[in-house]
A and B are shown apart, each in its own frame.
Chain A
Amino acid sequence: DTGVSQNPRHKITKRGQNVTFRCDPISEHNRLYWYRQTLGQGPEFLTYFQNEAQLEKSRLLSDRFSAERPKGSFSTLEIQRTEQGDSAMYLCASRSPTVLSTDTQYFGPGTRLTVL
């Protein structure tokens, strides 16, 4: 169990550029979640996958955001035409393959995005 990993850890970009983040979940975890955390706030749910299927998306996930999990393993989160308001920590979490909402979500260290 190597934990959830996220890359890059930090990303600085200019407004209008596209960025992509990667999340590698704990192996055999079939559920993968993305959250966004802005300064002084708790994480906010963005979307989640069960295997390769994206089953829920938050209203926070505008058309400029897209997430994929093509083979049911790692996931990518892409932000197109970044805006300064996108500056935040993007957190990924994974969970074991049961149907219980009580199961623990294990979080990665996050990718901190700064949009200049």
Chain B
Amino acid sequence: AQSVTQPDIHITVSEGASLELRCNYSYGATPYLFWYVQSPGQGLQLLLKYFSGDTLVQGIKGFEAEFKRSQSSFNLRKPSVHWSDAAEYFCAVAPIYNQGGKLIFGQGTELSVKP
């Protein structure tokens, strides 16, 4: 079955530490890949996206993600976390066969940042 998996429901890191959020997908062909962030009371904001080319993608707020086809993964990273990064992070895919562009989301990873 087609799915997006974020194995970590909740992660806590210290401010200034590095961060990696995991995302795995299961599709017949490589879909388009996205990471969104959701802060309380806010809508989802796009951090970055991948659809082709360089497998290391740079996004906003100092985030980057690396696409690994062999592992069907699209993990999100940040070298140094700030307290304002505390939020919920969602990995999403858009199947390339679906011209409507609907997004299929993982269940999310909640990030807490310790001072």
Which A residues have a C-beta under 8 Å from some C-beta of B? 3-4, 31, 33, 35, 40-45, 48, 50, 55-56, 91, 93, 95, 99-110
Contacts and interface: CB of A to CB of B under 8 A. Distances in A.
B107 A101 contact: no
Nearest to A56: B100
Contact of B100 (A4, A42, A55, A107): A55
Contacts of B98: 101
A91 B44 contact: yes
B49 A109 contact: no
A106 to B, nearest CB: 8
B92 interface: yes
Closest 5 interchain pairs by CB? A42-B105, A107-B43, A101-B101, A107-B44, A102-B51
Contacts of A43: 44, 90, 103, 105
